[in-house]
Amino acid sequence: MHRDSEGNAVEITPGAMNLMTAGRGIAHSERTPSQARRDGGRLSGIQSWIALPQDSEEIAPSFQHFEAADLPVVEADGLWARVVAGSVFGERSRVGMVSDWFYAEVVLEPGTTAPLDPDYEERAIYVVEGEVAIAGESFAAPRLLIFRPGDRIAVQAKKPTRLMFLGGSALEGPRYIWWNFVSSRRERIEQAKQDWKSGRFAPVPDETEFIPLPES
């Protein structure tokens, strides 16, 4: 269960995608439903952080939720892919984005090859499960691989493999991260620390617990 300071409450379901845009600042709470706490179970997922362009860092916070059925799926011989964001394999997701990026879950059968076309300046794959071969080299999970701009990349599965394809336009400069705060300006992070300590972030509805800043 996820609830943010805008009042959005969503129960996470298999294959679902939740996109929270922090912008000028947002608080959120993640809670396991009581039935799952009682009965037990396992949850597998990937959490990714996408930095905003400098001119959009102070936009209003927002939240998007998409069920698995809302996201386009591509199926070919030995390949299955869910397009989470952006455009991949000729399909485009309806997920709203502030910058130009893409994200896709890709499942390959052994021997199947998937292209990672040079349509985006920055590209990478994360090998979640299995093993792949690229340009004569093998890479087993878990592994993050980052590629040079412009190179045509062919990813071949050596065994049943699950990957994330990701990338997008390059940022204008470095980003700084401290705890849950990210910004292109160090002084903005210092301000966010004080705002959090002083309770100036919009509170999460029905949430009573407060997480203090780390000591350092």
What DSSP letter does each residue of the chain carry, written as one string? Answer: -EEETT--EE---TT-EEEEE-TT---EEE---HHHHHH-----------PPPGGGTTSPPEEEEE-GGGS-EEEETTEEEEEEESEETTEE-----SS-EEEEEEEE-TT-EEEE-TTSSEEEEEEEESEEEETTEEEESSEEEEE-TT--EEEEESSSEEEEEEEESPPSS--EEETTEEES-HHHHHHHHHHHHTT-SPPPTT-----PPP--
pLDDT the model gives residue 17 = 83
- Do 89 and 154 fall into the same domain? yes
Per the structure, the complete domain to which residue 55 belongs is given by: 2-65+176-197
202 in a domain, yes or no? no
pLDDT score of 5 more than 70: no
Q: Where residue 82 sits, what CATH number does that domain have? A: 2.60.120.10
- Do 79 and 135 fall into the same domain? yes
Number of structural domains (the chain) is 2
- Do 38 and 89 fall into the same domain? no
pLDDT the model gives residue 207 = 87
pLDDT (tens digit, 9 = 90+) per residue, 38-73?
888 777 788 899 999 999 999 999 989 899 899 999
pLDDT score of 29 more than 70: yes
pLDDT (tens digit, 9 = 90+) per residue, 126-185?
999 999 999 999 999 999 999 999 999 999 999 999 999 999 999 999 999 999 999 999
- Do 6 and 35 fall into the same domain? yes
pLDDT the model gives residue 38 = 85
pLDDT the model gives residue 14 = 66
Q: Record the pTM.
A: 0.87
